[in-house]
Amino acid sequence: MDVIRIILAIILPPVGVFLQVGFGLHFWLNILLTLLGYIPGIVHAVWIIARR
């Protein structure tokens, strides 16, 4: 399941984070990072998925 989340995190970072943690602080932070720059959103999403 983590492989699917990581693939989703590369395509749409907030979706990968949502599947991991739901509507929490990390989800909203990831949306902000993705809006500011796509790469920071990807890095944050993969970090959240790999950490848990």
* Span 5-45, pLDDT tens digits: 999 999 999 999 999 999 999 999 999 999 999 999 999 99
Q: What is the pLDDT of residue 42?
A: 97
The answer on pLDDT for 52 being more than 90 is no
Does the structure show a pLDDT above 90 at 2? no
Please name the residue that has the structure tokens 């395509």: 11
Contacts of 33 (CB under 8 A, 6+ apart): 13, 40, 41, 44
Going by C-beta distance under 8 Å and a sequence separation of 6 or more, which residues neighbour residue 8? 15, 16, 19
pTM for this predicted structure: 0.91
DSSP for 28-43 reads HHHHHHHHH-HHHHHH
Looking at the predicted structure, is the pLDDT value of residue 1 above 90?
no
